Chains A and B, each alone.
Chain A
Amino acid sequence: MAKLTVDDLKKIKERVLMEDQFRSGQKRAKITVHMGTCGIASGARDIMDALLDELAQNNVSDVLVTTSGCIGICSREPLVTIEEQGKEPIVYEYLTQAKMRQIFRQHILGGKIQSEFVMARGREQDGRGGDR
């Protein structure tokens, strides 16, 4: 790999923003499973397994699945964030495999937010915190 220059950093930033399959619209939804040690200890791997299984079973290819670290509120793990094009992100809490499957069927496929499992909507850093 060629060594980067400062300009390359900016190019990578632009490329990531452009090529991001969710941001560029190639995928209609993005599901982030939060997998810090706390999440994993609470069962995030099982949640991921259930999610991948649902994707395969339903032949879904327009949804991006990714992982990330702890969002801070470890006592409500496992947590999953679902982003859909043009909508506010939704954070689900206290997940189980069964809940994850229901959310996949009802929210991702059916468009109905499963409000009883939701912790919050929105993204923590939007216009706040470190970005201000």
Chain B
Amino acid sequence: MKVFRAHILVCGGTGCKATGSEVIHPALVQEVARRGLSKEVLIVETGCNGFCAAGPIMVVYPEGVFYQKVAVADVPEIIEEHIVKGRPVERLMYHEPVTEKPIPHIHDIPFFGKQVLIALKNRGLIDAEKIDEYIARDGYLGAAKALFEMTPEKVIAEMTTSGLRGRGGGGFPTGMKWSFARKAEGDVKYILCNADEGDPGAFMDRSLLEADPHAVLEGMIIAGYAIGARHGYIYCRAEYPLAIKRLNIAIDQARDYGLLGENILGSSYSLDIDIYQGAGAFVCGEETALMASIEGKRGMPRPRPPFPAQKGLWGKPSVLNNVETFANVPQIIIKGGDWFASMGTKTSKGTKVFALTGAINNVGLVEVPMGTPIGDIIFDIGGGIPDGKQFKAAQLGGPSGGCVPASGLNTPTDYEEISKLGAIMGSGGLIVMDEDTCMVDTARFFMEFCQEESCGKCTPCREGTKRMLEILERICHGEGQHGDIEMLEELAASIKDSALCGLGQTAPNPVLSTLRYFRHEYEAHIYDKKCPACVCSGMFKSPCQHGCPIEMDIPGYIALVRANRLDDAYRLMKRTNPFPAVCGRICPQFCAAKCRRSQLDESMAIAWLKRYVTDNARRPRVEPAPVTRTEKIAVIGAGPAGLTAAQDLAKRGYQVTVFEELPFAGGMLRYGIPEYRLSRTVIQAEVDDIVALGVELKTGCRVGRDIDFAQLKADYDCIVLATGAHKSWTLDVEGENLAGVWGAAEFLREVNLGKQAKVGNMVAVIGGGNTAIDAARTAIRLGARDVTILYRREKKDMPAWANEIEAAEAEGVKIECLVNPVKFTGTAGKLTGIVCQRMRLGEFDKSGRRKAVPVEGSQFTLAVDSAIPAISQSGDMSFIPAEAAVQMTKNGTFALVPKAKTATTAAGIFAAGDAVLGPATVVEAIAMGHQAAGEVDGFIREKNSEPPYKAPPEEPIAIPFEVDKEPRVTPRGKMPELTQQERIASFKEVELGYPADIAWAEACRCQRCDGCEHE
């Protein structure tokens, strides 16, 4: 064996190649040869080091020196210095942080780095109870400048120049408000501060008053001087004790220093300020009600005009501004209106403080320049949504505001732009809601708030909000009726038009805005009696069961596992699911996403328990269903949707024939999903049960080729189209017809047909979904040396399941993110490479994820001999003639009749599964199969004037109720798996199924949200 004195390892991973390692390798070889060192130094290309950010990287042994970001120009130096002279090149070396993890600078943390502080400039820096600390940070210099260097008119002009608008939510120009009061007749005027912060989720004012009370006092002095007020009040709610305490201290200290009282700072201007504690009525945030409250009257609004600038507190001209507005004033006076106006948008200047709450990682207070997109606040500053959940909406402006859905994330924080969305800037409460939020329930919450806070003075608000609340409560209890939505809209319109004050006029906003963006959720509650977010608990027994498209009795069969009654569990599952063994392996588990156990530790392993039952229960023998009806039904496509429909129709007494083009039944289960995830015998056993009912299965028979569609229409009473989505989308780039490029669906079908699919050595799979992962893991098993998934967004955005991604990586699949193919290249008609482009994340798309946009000049070529696009699939609908009058959507799926679940535009023809939904999941296909059977049966019975179908009574299964009294944190039971070597060498099922002890322990984790024994 040859011995080399040095080894140079050059990373040949895709990441490093993209940054230039491909040219470094030959340069090294050349340089080593030039110096006659070829016999002493071995140059090796290695796989990815996982340190792509610092690429191209290389490691020189025996020292193990790690070089990063190496350029071709560095090669001679490395050879000369390191190899020849034995001196590692310091400047290219990467230094591991030795003892401590690196500490980020506060500006490098997006939460802080993207903020600009004006109103909050002293936060966290000064002791709020020490006036000297405020003065030391240029406190009261703004007041001094205004009093000694500026006339009141000049102060107002400066405010007008600044473009500052009311931060309480109304957004009225501050300078204009002050000038009205300045011009108003009268010796006695008042300057008032609105600290009656009451929106749910808003805490800007409280935090500001606690951290920097003098800033507010100084703003009031300047404002008072501008309008000519000699007295001021701060109206602060009593439930802010710390804010009031610090304000009182601040006022005492300011008086002591002569900053409040007679002749402030020796000037001729005098002002004193008192605190008025509000009792916490929301309506007192409305200016006329607030003034009534200070006057000692009941806090109720009065009609305007006259406006407070003319007749305010005690009938005197008054200016009321919000806490944040005042905190901006001293800075504007010191630095000038132009400085302030240099930040923000055309109509919204300066910065805005937001209180970030709800489903967000960084709960807190942020101040950003106006114009910052809402999405940047939520995802960059706020750190996004916890636990990998999806963003649903953000509520802005509290009960007077509205929600901003994912499609509004690019909207800049600008008064006018936000109102276009149907929301308002508001005082700055920003409540983030994720997929687990029900928008109807949200609307109900805000309506309940407004209803409780309505002062009762005017009828539209007092009665109207009550009626709206009653309707919303009914909907949330599953008692919604036809016409409810329309009634809500009608009430909302009349309340908006006729209520006396802002509270009433804006109270319908949360309802209107949720109706605008989430009408489908209202409809699901009213018509389907479903709460899609599984929140409205009045509508269901347990969230998991409600979240399941076929509403399997999940707590029921888990209880039976705990009771070790597996045969009963199996029977229970089969009631709703003809494919429990299949779902036990590959169900996407909408149920687990709603599992309440996740609030304690991890969600239940629902599918794995289901699999445990099907692995171990005795399967009852299926008897043929008696044919009690004369009608015949044809089902086209033997996938989960078609077979479910066939099963249900057979049970209802129909003669059913299923036509299937491919040699075996199962559809995508068999020809899409690889065998290592779902064994063929498992599929076949469940198909056999359906055939045993008496369903006729004709495989190898393609409608339109082997039998005419018109013939089918003549021979059968109804037809169910369940033909799936088996055609891969193309990328629409050059070179896609080269040999070596094939769609993932076609590739997987070829493999699953048992044909010898030849995959190359260097395989690239394009896409980020489960199909991409399936194709990649299949390619590994077929012997590909190097399999890379190219995905255009970030890894966290991949739609594939996390455990699938993990398994693929464990098997050696590489995942390259932020990469997009632009061209396939080849020679002699055969694929040799993919020209790719680096991507970066840009604006938000409609799904709430950031769009991937190309990075200019970042193209690189990846050498591959196979490429598998796996971006999406559609159906092949060529079998159906135009005369059939079955309309299609623009996405190439079957179009349905409005309000129907499966009825197409042609009478007697129904459609289900991926052929309607596009590529979806097995459990959704099963759900549609059930619906199709119901609609087919209903259609026939209605035609015959028969009464609707009544399911025969089923043999009862008693479900016991047993839960751990004190649940302890216990992680989910681990699934035993094949070893790494066993996996990649064959297509054997990777997951082996739970043994009895793990399954029992897992079943005991269920907290039984259904809450009782049942049948």
Contacts and interface: CB of A to CB of B under 8 A. Distances in A.
Nearest to B206: A37
Contacts of A131: 121
Interface in A83-120: 88, 90-91, 113, 115-116, 118-120
B116 interface: yes
B125 A40 contact: no
Interface string B120-138: 1101111110001101101
A129 B138 CA distance: 15
Given A123-B125, A129-B117, A36 B210 contact: yes
A130 to B, nearest CB: 3
Contact of B210 (A20, A37, A118): A37
Contacts of B212: 69
Nearest to B253: A1
B107 interface: yes
A34 B210 CA distance: 11
A60 interface: no
Contacts of A91: 106
Contacts of A58: none
A66 B126 CA distance: 9
Given A3-B258, A6-B265, A71 B123 contact: yes
Nearest to B148: A6
Residue from the set A13, A38, A68 with the largest chain B CB neighbour count within 10 Å: A68
B365 A68 contact: no
Interface residues of B, number: 57
Contacts, number: 160
A55 to B, nearest CB: 17
B127 A9 contact: no
Contacts of A123: 106, 125
A71 B124 contact: yes
A57 interface: no
Contacts of A81: 124
Residue from the set B105, B112, B210 with the largest chain A CB neighbour count within 10 Å: B112
Contacts of B120: 72, 130
A128 B107 contact: yes
B242 A40 contact: yes
A6 B240 CA distance: 33
Contact of A70 (B104, B107, B116, B124): B124
B136 A12 contact: yes
B242 A37 contact: yes
Interface of chain A, main secondary structure: mixed
B361 interface: yes
A121 B104 CA distance: 6
Interface in B209-235: 210-212
Given A69-B207, A125-B117, A74 B103 contact: no
A4 interface: yes
Nearest to B135: A12
A130 B121 contact: yes
Nearest to B335: A130
A69 B128 CA distance: 7
B256 interface: yes
B511 interface: no
Contacts of A124: 106-107, 112, 115, 117, 123-124
B101 interface: yes
A125 B206 contact: no
A121 B106 contact: yes
A26 interface: no
A122 interface: yes
Contacts of A6: 144, 148, 265-266
B107 A122 contact: yes
Interface of A: 1-6, 9, 12-13, 15-17, 20, 32, 34, 36-38, 40, 66-76, 81, 88, 90-91, 113, 115-116, 118-126, 128-131
27 contacts: A3-B258, A12-B135, A13-B138, A16-B132, A34-B124, A36-B207, A38-B203, A67-B127, A68-B123, A68-B126, A70-B123, A70-B210, A70-B211, A71-B124, A72-B364, A73-B362, A76-B362, A88-B105, A115-B103, A118-B103, A120-B103, A121-B103, A122-B105, A122-B107, A123-B106, A129-B116, A129-B367
